[in-house]
């Protein structure tokens, strides 16, 4: 099944988001806002009450953290090939932290969309990231700035 947006467009969106991350001094961005997740990956779900995210390193392969029940949807809706899944009975925060550690992206400045993340998930991440050389900054506007500039595909 083809993606709704051409692969080249997604590539351009990620490139522009990485430039926006650089402007903000962000080494990796945790994208949790549903419209930004859709904009960058094509992935959407009605189950957005549970934390789901795109982790976008400034350099390196992005990955998704999603509910296990969504694992069949990800390859149908998104170009992202690396996905960490979490069964509903497990702690998504623990799966998320494991994925960040495995990807070795926990050091540096992390942008978190503070306007869209639950307080509980934020506190878990904050506690986890304290173990590393990490500074948390608000990444709520990092993707939004990119979305405001329309590409030829979007016009």
The pLDDT assigned to 86 comes to 79
Burial pattern 30-67, b for ≥16 Cβ within 10 A else e, equals: bbbbeebbbbbbbbbbeeeeebbbbbbbbeeebbbbbb
**Cα(58)–Cα(36) distance, integer angstroms:** 17
Please, where are the H alpha helices in the chain?
7-24, 34-41, 73-77, 92-102, 119-129, 142-148
Confidence of residue 12 (pLDDT cuts 50, 70, 90): very high
The pLDDT assigned to 95 comes to 78
pTM (2 d.p.):
0.89
**Cα(70)–Cα(9) distance, integer angstroms:** 24
Asked if 140 and 115 touch (Cβ cutoff 8 Å), the reply is yes
pLDDT tens digit sequence for 139-153: 999 999 999 999 999
**Cα(32)–Cα(100) distance, integer angstroms:** 14
- Residues 107-118: what's their mean pLDDT? 89
Half-sphere exposure of 67 (CA within 13 A, CB side): 12
Number of residues written out for the chain? 155
Confidence of residue 102 (pLDDT cuts 50, 70, 90): confident
State the Cα angle at 60 between 80 and 48, rounded to 5°. Answer: 40
């Amino acid at each position: 099944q083809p993606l709704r947006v051409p692969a080249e467009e997604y590539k351009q969106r990620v490139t522009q988001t990485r430039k926006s991350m650089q402007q903000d001094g962000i080494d990796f961005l945790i994208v949790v806002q549903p419209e930004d997740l859709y904009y960058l990956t094509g992935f959407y779900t009605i189950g957005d009450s549970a934390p789901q995210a795109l982790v976008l390193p400034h350099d390196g392969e992005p990955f998704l953290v999603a509910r296990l029940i969504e694992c069949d949807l990800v390859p149908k809706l998104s170009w992202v090939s690396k996905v960490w899944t979490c069964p509903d009975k497990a702690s998504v925060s623990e799966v998320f932290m494991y994925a960040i550690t495995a990807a070795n992206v926990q050091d540096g400045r992390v942008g978190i969309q503070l306007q869209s993340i639950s307080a509980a998930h934020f506190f878990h991440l904050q506690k986890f990231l304290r173990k590393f050389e990490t500074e948390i900054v608000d990444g709520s506007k990092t993707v939004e700035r990119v979305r405001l500039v329309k590409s030829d595909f979007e016009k």
